[in-house]
Every structure is written in C-alpha cells, then in structure tokens.
Structure 1
C-alpha cells in the first residue's frame, strides 16, 4: 500500500496548504459558500502531476438566488487561482473555465430535471457526493451533501424496512456513462501528440472514474444485502469515504461484503 498511502499523505498535505493559502478567500465566502476539490485531490490520490478541480457551492436566498454576488464569485475564483500558482500546483484544467459555481438549491432541486445535464449540476452533484473534499467552509459542504442525500431518499419514510436506493444508484451509473460519452466527444478527433495524451485520459477514465462509481454501487448493494434496506445515514457514511476507502471497508468487514452475495444483489437491482 506504499504508493496509495504516499498519494493520500501528499493530497492531505496539499489540501491543508490550500486551506491556509485561501484565508482571504474564506473572508470573501463568509457564511455564504463553500469550496471543494473533486478529482484526484478529492479522492486523496493526487501527485505532483495532478491539477486541482475546485468548485464553488453558494447558499441560496429566499428567492432561490445565490447569496454570493457575481463580484464575490470573481474574487473567490481569483483567490483560488492565485493559491494554486503560489503553491506550485499544476495549472487549472481548461484555463480555469471549469471552476464551477452552483447553489445548494440547484444541486438539490434539479435532480432528474430536464436541465440537470445542460447546467452541469448532475455531474457536480455526484462528484460532490462521491469524490470530494472541502477546502473552505466544510460545515456548508457537509450540510449540502446531507440535503442532496435526503432528496434522493425522499421516499424512505414509506419504505424504511426495505428501501432500495434505485434513484441514487441509477444516477451513479449514469455518471459513468456520462464520463464515457464526454471522453469520446472530446478525444475522437485528436491527432499527433494530442492523440498520445488521449491514452493518458483513457487510463484515468478506466481506472479512477470507474472506481468512483463501482465502489459506490457495490457499497450500497452490500449494505442492502446485510440490512435489507439502505438508510440516509448509510449513504452519508459511504459518501464520507473515498472510493478506495469504500473498497477497504468492504474488504475489512466480511459481514458487509458477504451478506447474501454482492453479485446476486448486483444482478437483481442494477
């Protein structure tokens, strides 16, 4: 586990440095927004070659609008970019255009809506749940995660003793399919050196992204096999883990991974 532990230690060290470097960003965000990292830093698998995948989630006001003004958003993004540069991290992917800004209202209330994909709330929501670590305002970060889980478990009160998280599980599977579609759309016409880079992207997609989705599905199925239900707290516990931690948890808990047979449940519900 040497390489895995080294990656985790490096990720935690760099995230702590980021938090310290973003002290002014914390003032800008106030109690209005959180910032989290997904991707390799969110999975605690980063290295010197990893870039940061930051995202801003602002709280909504009574009119369902962001409490973070446009000017505050610009300042916050500027602070993130400056912190990345000062710490010598890799340049942000896409020239910084992927620093998203969403609201808790959009992430919760656009679940299953026609604009969920086009607004990118779908991917952001799932990454926030499955592979993310807070950088600014972790209380807001965890509160929004809980609100999202509660939205997926909206029918839980009616089926507490036999709740199958099909709504959530289907979205996890859809996330993997979205990754595949996006990869093909962005790389199928590449040539030369760009085509070589495509192989690296392909490896990342096949290994890290499928592990994010697979570990979540297999964990939920294992919980169901053991308890014949999956509670919101079970989902929260799963979402607090990295993909590798989910697999280690199954490995280290024979009762969880072996109950009723994970493969049997996988065939029945997915």
Structure 2
C-alpha cells in the first residue's frame, strides 16, 4: 500500500506508538513529505486512512496537529521564535518523545537525528546538559498543562478523563524526556546526539527502564498498568467521560486520583527527589 511513496514518512503517535493501546484507542497516524509535495501526500494519506478504516481501524477525530501532511522542513526549521506556535511545539515533541515509524524507517530515523542535531550544537561542552532540548521538553509539558485548563473551561468538555491522562500518560512522557536529557552529561557533542537519538527511539516506559534498570521501574510499571486497565474498563471510562466536572465526583476518579499521586511519587523517586520535599521544586518539575 505504501511502497509507491518513497517520498513519504508515515508515523504514529499516541497510545499505539507508546505500546499501550486499549479498547477503543484510535490510531494517530501522521504523514510527512520529504519533497514538500503536499498534494501527493494528501492523496496517499487519504488512501491509506481509507484502507485502514475499511479494516476496522479507528482513526482520530478531525482537528489534530497532524491532521494534514507536512513537509519535514516544517519540523526542523521552526524551533523557537514567534512562528513556533503551540501546534509546532506539539508536533515536534510528539515526534521526538513518542513517535514511531509505520513506513520509511530510514527517513523517520534520519529526521529524528536531524532534529536532535538542532538541539545539540557541535561545540557543546561534555559537562554541559543539553539545555536547549530540556527547555523545549519543559515548554511542551507546560503547554499541555495550560491547554488542559483552557480546554476544560468549556463546561461541556469532560474534565475527569483529561485530568487522569495529564497526571499519568502525559507526565510519563515528560519525565521520560527529561530523563533522556540527563543521560547526555559527560559526553561530547557527537555522543550526546547519538545517546539522545538512541533513547528517544524507545517508548517512554522502555526508555526509563533502560536508564534506571528494570528493578527500579517495578512500581512505575505496576501503577501504570493499573491505570491502563482502568481506562480500558468501559464502566470506568463512562464515568470519567461525563461532561464538565461531573466525573470528578465519582469513585472511579477518586481511585485514579489516588493512583496518580502514587505514580508521581514513584517518578520523583526515579529522579532522586523526595515526594515530600520542597513543594516549589516539586511543582516546578512536575
């Protein structure tokens, strides 16, 4: 189906990319074009999505940041500045922090390496952290948090399910990003780039396991598995998806709120921070 389109990179974000799809998960496909031929990319995307829909695969709702095909230079050429909108930040960070290839693995990996190279200048001292990338990961996390408040200010939008996902899957993505940055300290610029590219090619949970070891990840994985099982339960999900704040008053949300606090504590422990430490420092991080 895709062999006739060597110009395209097709990837996926979301739960499928993170290897944690549940019942009802959609497939957040995205299409990038190396040549910039958007019309050809649109036709290929429509054909690909149409075929998947025929097979019963659920496509994402309209309006996502990757709804239309994009030229690859749009990801690499707009980092910072007034043109770097929330949409650009989100596209770039989703690609780096959780993106996975579907077609054209070589092109996908090359684009990831090109993006990483933008963040790691050739003259970066070995003892310095990759602050440029770290700041962009932090900016993305704060953008998600602010957008959550904006989107749920609409009384018709379900707050409970969005809050649960923010505190668990989105927080995991953030921590896995900053943990990767920490691993670059002590490496020269070339090695920093290689290390970041290697780590970012892994799903978030696997990335953290690679960095901290399987034993330290046992609490994190157990709590996250409980979260995934909960949102895969149609009864629980129905309660969380009630409009406005109605879902916040349910026992199902209460259980997941408790779980999210334990999850945050487990992530802080990975980062060698005390859950009960300076509240300002904890808030600045998570």
Maintained 8 Å contact 1:59/1:103: yes
Which residue of structure 2 aligns with residue 109 of structure 1?
77
* Aligned-partner Cα distance in 2 for 1:141–1:219: 19
Residues of 1 paired with 2:183 and 2:101: CA distance?
27
In angstroms, what is the RMSD of aligned CA positions?
A: 2.6
Q: 1:57-93 deviations in whole A, cap 9, x for unaligned? A: 1114xxxxx1x241x1221221232133123222422
Against the structure 1 CA distance between its residues 80 and 178, is the aligned structure 2 distance closer, same or farther, given a 3 Å change threshold?
farther
Residues 150 and 232, structure 1, Cα contact 8 Å, conserved in 2 = yes
Q: 1:46 to 1:163 in 2, by over 3 A?
A: same
TM-score for the superposition, normalised by structure 2: 0.69
Is it true that 1:88 corresponds to 2:53 in the alignment? Answer: no
Q: Note if 1:57 corresponds to 2:25.
A: no
More helix by percentage: 1
Q: Distance in 2 between matches of 1:174 and 1:95?
A: 22
1:1-12 equivalent positions in 2, closer than 5 A: none
- Which of 188, 193, 198 aligns to 2:153? It is 188
Residues 1:218 and 1:167: Cα distance change in structure 2 (over 3 Å):
same
Matched pairs, number: 220
Please say if residues 55 and 101 of structure 1, whose CA atoms lie closer than 8 Å, have aligned partners that are also in contact.
Answer: yes
SS at match of 2:162: helix
Find the residue that maps to 1:34 and give its secondary structure.
strand
Q: TM-score, normalised by structure 1?
A: 0.73
- Cα separation, partners in 2 of 1:164 and 1:183, compared to 1, 3 Å: same
* Partner residue of 1:143 out of 110, 127, 141: 110
Residue 31 of structure 1 is matched in structure 2 by 6
Misfit runs of 4+, over 6 Å: none
Is this contact kept in 1: 2:13–2:98, CA < 8 A? yes
Name structure 1 gaps, 5 residues minimum.
1-22, 61-65, 255-260
* 1:18-68 deviation line (CA, Å, top 9, x unaligned): xxxxx1x442xx2212011011111111122111111111114xxxxx1x2
